[in-house]
Amino acid sequence: MRNSLVLALSGLVLAPAVSAQAYDSGDRDREDFSWVQPKNTTILGPYGHVPPVYPSPNATGVGGWEDALQKARDFVAQLTLEEKADMVTGQPGPCVGNIVAIPRLGFNGICLHDGPLAIRVADYASVFMAGVSAASTWDREILYQRGLAMGREFKAKGAHVALSPVCGPLGRSAYSGRNWEGFSPDPYLTGVAMEETILGHQDAGVQATPKHFIGNEQEIMRNPTWKTNGTVGEKVQEAISSNIDDRTMHELYLWPFANAIHARAASVMCSYQRLNGTYACENSKAVNGLLKEELGFQGYVMSDWGSTHSGVSSIEGGLDMNMPGGLGGYGMNWKAGSFFGGNITRAVNNGTVPVERVDDMIIRIMTPYYWLGQDKDFPGIDPSTGDLNTFSPRSTWVREFNMTGERSVDVRGDHGALIRKHGAAATILLKNENKTLPLKAPKSIAVFGNDAGQITEGFYNQDEYEFGTLVAGGGSGTGRLTYLVDPLTAINARAAQDGSLVQQWLNNTLIAKTDVRTLWLPTPPDVCLVFLKTWAEEAADRASLHVDYDGDDVVDSVARYCSNTVVVTHSSGINVMPWANHPNVTAIIAAHFPGQESGNSLVDVLYGDVDPSGRLPYTIAHNASDYNAPIVTDIQTDGFYDWQSWFDEKLEIDYRYFDANNISVLYEFGFGLSYSTFELGEINVENVAGSNITSRPEHLPVQPGGNPALWETLYNVSIPVTNTGDVDGTTVAQLYITLPDSAPEGTPVRQLRGFDKLSLAAGQTGVANFELMRRDLSYWDVNAQDWVIPKGEFVLSVGFSSRDLPVTTTLTPVKGCTKRKL
């Protein structure tokens, strides 16, 4: 035992194929073992302590899953030990993740599929808008409807589990390659998006998998590096460690996961990177402590594909399912064995892992399965999946799979119409000088840019190629298009109704170096539409915040001679826009990744059939150097543990940082224009909790989402909103809170705590409603280890963006000293 502890501390214990010792540590000192840290502790500084939380809590089914849990228990009671090992270990098969069937029990196995905007490994399925676009709608109903429609497609293809939605990355850095898969760097907006999406998925009968838990805020070095030594992979450096303090964890990164668990998410995927020095999937504080104890999570934790780095340590740390099942890291090779699988049987037989823990893992897996009725009439797997699955092609399958679904079943239904509508609602109008938009039957239109036209190199995982519009990013979060309405095609179709002339130039290199007057001779166009794009994909971070393919030069070239230049971006997220204040750039639209109806969604807004009602889910700064919280891009040293990312900015990400430091920005969080104008009336605050609100919540038995007292509404806030323009329109009323001075240092100046999207006819008045829950008014007190409402006066600010807040009022939930504590 002593031996294995030494190995653990030197880090060798986690290396597959060189570490049979992973299982030799039955009665080790957990406190030491759970913290695989560098010998040089100055590298980890004040972080790097993972408070040990053992044993892994048993599921109880609390919160509505009690009956399903009993069925799961009965199921587990019939399993042999080998079947138990199968139930928690992925196998190569038709889906991106597969749990094999147990025919003698009538159990048909579990099929897991990517991803957050489409069922990826499928034909005849829809490509929905990406998370960043969904967040831009600020529309609870759309978020739900999108989740529901996606869920129906997964189910109809025979997928029990959708590996969706994403709130990690949250968006600490604008550069992270996967921000577009998730929603927004604001935890409140993302929390609502998670909850609605999950309710949608699961109402369709499919298990949701919020991911990646937790701290997966950059792609670079998310996995360890390896070198080949003979047939054996030898680890060179451990993956990056996200070092996050407890308060930041609770108020930013864990916050939307709490919403996800509150919505009864079936499973959670743990992430690749290390967390305070320990791999996320075996971080007992995170998985056992935060997720299973504090948030009362009753479902199962699955690893990301290859993010399992140990057997016993992971099982004890709370991991319930190893995906895709083979050894992670080097080779991701099933044939090399598994940290789970056969090792589980052996570890149980020799007493290293109690069988009760394995039983709990399976109970957690099967409870949501029964709760969602997946044991009854669930569609069989579409055999086309088996042909499309390049991750585990048929040649790798070692077990039997019966794909009893209809081959190439078309699951799209009428989702195209929905996607068109959702894409339009996600379109953000950032600038509109002199009402240049909506277009009014222009006589002559010129279209520029390599993002305007049809995709040129295939309908799947577009990759960073030059010609073709972008509707999704790359990696496991992408989708396989069955058709694509590109902007140019949609503009041509719409322009034909007005008899407009439409000319096009799609080669950015050419446009950037050309006097564009020579292109459109003899008469200047009435409007020049410039289409720009920005790619991002899994496993790589963005190198720049500028648009791709010299897009900035394209705008300059066009705007030099076109006095009515409208710029449209299809981007993964944040762009700097050096041309934003160019006098000839009259309008700017951020359309992000809208999905398969992209062109139609855009044209609906360009021509005013739909009011642009998207709002920025992040901040656009004046220039790239204005952003803080840089990702780690390079480590010059070659020490085993040298990749460290310090979340030193704490709560100050995105607008929280710009506001705290009074930095002027180009377009602030929450901003977006309508074709109409809106005004607010008088704010009304109703205390629904009675007069005596306590600072600390009552400690009620934990339910999914945590202490239910945190989810109790304390105040209902409402405010009339009037459409003061002469066209019908849609706006998003937003509520921000400022905590009293008694809150600890580092508390953000303003934080979003409510939003309400209203569509109003010209002249009409509606009412925006916001419910403030206890959690919304609390900060995480690291000493009390509890959510606390600070004493004194809160400021509530309501308006139309984080920097347009004309209406304020105050609120004192807990009376007392308002002076900052010394």
Ligand X SMILES: *[C@@H]1O[C@H](CO)[C@@H](O)[C@H](O)[C@H]1NC(C)=O
Q: Which of 216, 271, 343, 384 binds ligand X (CB under 6 A)?
A: 343
Q: Report residue 303 as tokens.
A: 């690893």
CA separation for the pair 416, 337 (Å, rounded): 43
Q: Which amino acid is at 155?
A: K
Task: For residue 19, state whether it binds ligand X (rule: CB under 6 A).
Answer: yes
Among 509, 633, 684, 812, interactor with ligand X by CB under 6 A: 509
With left for phi above 0 and alpha for psi between -120 and 50, is residue 819 left, alpha or beta?
beta
From 510, 580, 663, 811, residue interacting with ligand X (rule: CB under 6 A): 510
Bin 293: left if φ > 0, else alpha if -120 < ψ < 50, else beta: alpha
Binding flag, residue 692, ligand X (CB under 6 A): yes
Report the alpha-carbon distance of residue 302 to residue 527 in Å, rounded: 51
Q: Is the dihedral of CA 120, 126, 127, 131 positive or negative?
A: negative
Report the site for ligand X in 570-609 (rule: CB under 6 A).
583-584, 586
Options 502-510, 717-725, 771-779, 796-804: segment touching ligand X (CB under 6 A): 502-510
Q: Does 17 bind ligand X (CB under 6 A)?
A: yes
DSSP for 258-294 reads: HHHHHTT-SEEEEPSSEETTEEGGG-HIIIIIIIIII
Cα separation of 313 and 659, whole Å? 42
Question: Which residues on adjacent β-strands are paired with residue 686?
Answer: 716
Nearest residue (CB) to ligand X, 145 versus 716: 716
Per CB under 6 A, which region of 74-82, 183-191, 332-340, 406-414 contacts ligand X? 332-340
| CA 210 distance to own-chain centroid | 8
The window from 257-265, 280-288, 298-306, 484-492 that contacts ligand X (CB under 6 A) reads: 280-288
Shorter beta-carbon distance to ligand X: residue 101 or 142: 101
Rounded CA separation 630/173 (Å): 6
Query: Applying CB under 6 A, which of residues 4, 223, 283, 613 lies at the interface with ligand X?
Result: 283
Among positions 609-648, residues that touch ligand X (CB under 6 A) are: 622-623, 625
Q: Please tell me whether residue 464 binds ligand X under the rule CB under 6 A.
A: no
Smallest gap, in angstroms, from Cβ of residue 181 to ligand X?
22
To ligand X, the closest distance from the beta carbon of 285 in angstroms equals 4
Please state the closest distance from residue 40 (CB atom) to ligand X, in A. Answer: 4
Question: Which is closer to ligand X, CB of 499 or CB of 690?
Answer: 690
Give yes or no for residue 342 binding ligand X (CB under 6 A). yes
Considering only residues 140, 346, 421, 696, which one is a binding residue for ligand X as defined by CB under 6 A?
346
CB-nearest residue to ligand X: 337
Residue 16 engages ligand X in binding (rule: CB under 6 A): yes
Q: Which is nearer to ligand X, 47 or 669 (CB)?
A: 47
Q: Which of 163, 291, 347, 365 binds ligand X (CB under 6 A)?
A: 347
In the complex with ligand X, the residue whose CB is nearer, 127 or 254, is 254
Count the Cβ atoms, other than its own, within 10 Å of residue 716.
14
Applying CB under 6 A, the span of 21-29, 193-201, 747-755, 797-805 interacting with ligand X comes to 21-29
Tell me which residues in 373-432 interact with ligand X (CB under 6 A): 400, 402
Amino acid type, 125? A
Distance CA 187, CA 713 (A): 18
Applying CB under 6 A, does 55 fall inside the site for ligand X? yes
Whether the CB-CB separation of 608 and 666 falls below 8 Å is answered with: no
Helix, strand, or coil (residue 681): coil
- Rounded distance, CA 536 to CA 173, Å? 13
Tell me which of 10, 78, 228, 229 binds ligand X, using CB under 6 A.
Answer: 229
d(CA 165, CA 196): 10
Distance CA 471, CA 468 (A): 10
In terms of Cα–Cα distance, which of 553, 473, 543 is closest to 508? 553
Alpha-carbon span 263 to 251, nearest angstrom: 18
Interactions with ligand X, residue window 27-46 (CB under 6 A): 40, 42-43
Tell me how far apart the alpha carbons of residues 226 and 329 are, in angstroms, rounded to a whole number.
8
Closest approach of ligand X to the CB of residue 424, in Å = 25
Non-local (6+) Cβ contacts of 595 within 8 A are 117, 126, 127, 128, 129, 130, 133, 419, 422, 423, 471, 472, 479, 601
Residue with smaller CB distance to ligand X, 91 or 600: 91
Distance of CA 511 to the CA centre of its chain: 36
Closest distance of CB 772 from ligand X, Å: 17
User: Annotated catalytic sites, by residue?
Assistant: 304
Of 128 and 658, CB closest to ligand X: 658
Minimum gap (Å) between residue 142 Cβ and ligand X: 33
Q: Is residue 453 a contact partner of residue 471, using CB atoms and an 8 Å limit?
A: no
| CB nearer ligand X, residue 101 or residue 208 | 101
CB within 8 A of 650, min separation 6: which ones?
245, 247, 248, 746
Q: Which of 8, 14, 23, 753 binds ligand X (CB under 6 A)?
A: 23
Q: What does the binding site for ligand X look like in residue numbers (CB under 6 A)?
A: 16-17, 19-20, 22-24, 40, 42-43, 47, 49-51, 55, 57-58, 101, 103, 229, 234, 245-246, 275-276, 283, 285-286, 336-339, 341-343, 346-347, 350, 352, 356, 360, 400, 402, 433-434, 507, 509-510, 559-561, 563, 583-584, 586, 622-623, 625, 690-692
